[in-house]
Amino acid sequence: MKIRFPLALAAVFLAFLGSVFVLQAFERPPPVSVQQGFRGTGMVGVTNPRRDAGLVARNQVPAAPEAAGTDGDRASSIYDNLQVFGDLSVEQFGRIMQAMTEWVSPAEGCNGCHVEGDFASDDNYRKRVARRMVQMVRHINADWANHVQQTGVTCYTCHRGNLVPQQVWATAPEHGARGMAASANGQNLAAPAVGLTSLPYDPFSRFLAQDGNIRVQTTRALAPGGVHPIQDAESVYGLMIHISEALGVNCTFCHNSRAFSSWTESHPPRLTAWHGIRMVRDVNVNYIEPLREILPASRRGPMGDALQANCATCHQGVNRPLLGAPMLRDYPELRPAAAR
């Protein structure tokens, strides 16, 4: 009996040690914090290793085909009704058509945009949409380098193998609530677009389809000329939550938490984001929304407008779309002729 008790105690102790080692083996890796700005201001980037593998897998780019020759006949001299890409060589044209098919309609192939047997026809509305989107991509690569830098964009940046990008938005209908909720000013619906908060559930129409003023903080107390109502600040905050979630970052990726409004104390990505907001406005107003007249009902939102872009359309959870893969370098066909 005297021998059994020490043995039992030793067994319990060993079992305890074993459980400690087992629990440590299955412990979740902690978030990683990296200082990104001034010390003492909370300008820290936080990443979660548990999400990294999934993000990397979702942001891989397809292998680029062998570069095409630039010599020979222009594509416009061979193919009918070629309103874009006519400046490319026949070999370049075939290469970019093959790539676009893989990026946008891998299941349907060429017939995703073209009328079978009559590629020159414009009867398939998707071809007319694609034509305008190519013009948009070239415009972004030429005129919005302040945002996309030399990385540029391609069709794959947004589409990722889908006919319609998965991250889009349209004007939200009125929620139709009654009673006290009827005057909620588009709030208190816990919408995914604003991180399931009670903030206004449509942070896009005002700022990404119109020229809404995002700055609501004055530089002095009781400034003359009126003040912004609290609803303006809540709408801006909703947009900021969307940007944060779309890029997979927190507020201090761009802002100095000591002085959110100060540009001189902000992190450089804030300027990149400033250009990005205006770029999205540009493409929504001048390229996407005008297409509503040729889109079927299935390609429009509940209020009849076109499905439009926001920050998540390209970024999809990472601060550099496709983890910064320089796809434009491999597809010079998507640069304007003057830049190739």
Nearest residue to 235 via CA among 194, 189, 273: 194
Q: What local confidence, expressed as pLDDT, does residue 30 receive?
A: 78
Residue 311 assigned as binding residue: yes
Ranges 55-64, 74-83, 139-148, 178-187: which has the least confidence: 178-187
Residue 255 assigned as binding residue: yes
CA angle 190/188/304 to nearest 5° reads: 75
Return d(Cα 302, Cα 173) in angstroms, integer: 7
pLDDT tens column, 107-116: 999 999 999 9
Burial of 113 (0-12, 13-18, 19+ CB in 10 A): buried
CATH of 44-58+167-174+181-315, one of 3.90.320.10, 3.40.250.10, 1.10.468.10, 2.40.10.10: 1.10.468.10
pLDDT tens column, 55-100: 888 999 999 999 999 999 999 999 999 999 999 999 999 999 999 9
Domain ranges of the chain: 44-58+167-174+181-315, 65-164+329-340
Q: Which residue has the higher pLDDT, 166 or 222?
A: 166
Residue 303 assigned as binding residue: no
Q: What local confidence, expressed as pLDDT, does residue 3 receive?
A: 58
- Evaluate whether 279 touches 144 at the Cβ level (below 8 Å): yes
Burial of 126 (0-12, 13-18, 19+ CB in 10 A): buried
- The CATH number of the structural domain formed by 65-164+329-340 is 1.10.468.10
What average pLDDT does the segment 24-31 reach? 68
Residue 155 assigned as binding residue: yes
Q: Where are the alpha helices (DSSP H) in the chain?
A: 4-25, 49-58, 90-104, 125-143, 145-148, 155-159, 205-208, 230-247, 269-283, 311-315, 327-330
Structure tokens at 59: 């942001």
Residue 228 assigned as binding residue: no
- Evaluate whether 254 touches 267 at the Cβ level (below 8 Å): yes
Residue 1 assigned as binding residue: no
Q: Quick one: pLDDT band at residue 21, thresholds 50, 70, 90? A: low
Return d(Cα 34, Cα 45) in angstroms, integer: 5
Residue 267 assigned as binding residue: no
Residue 314 assigned as binding residue: yes
Average pLDDT, the chain: 87
What average pLDDT does the segment 266-276 reach? 93
**Distance between terminal CA atoms of the chain?**
89
**H, E, C per residue of 44-83:** EEEECHHHHHHHHHHCCCCCCCCCCCCCCCEHHHCCCCCC
Residue 279 assigned as binding residue: no
Residue 100 assigned as binding residue: no
Residue 175 assigned as binding residue: no
Residue 158 assigned as binding residue: yes
Q: What local confidence, expressed as pLDDT, does residue 23 receive?
A: 61
What average pLDDT does the segment 5-30 reach? 67
- Whether 44-58+167-174+181-315 shares its CATH topology with 65-164+329-340 is answered yes
Q: What percent of the chain has pLDDT over 90?
A: 58
pLDDT tens column, 189-234: 778 888 888 888 898 999 999 988 887 776 666 666 666 677 888 8
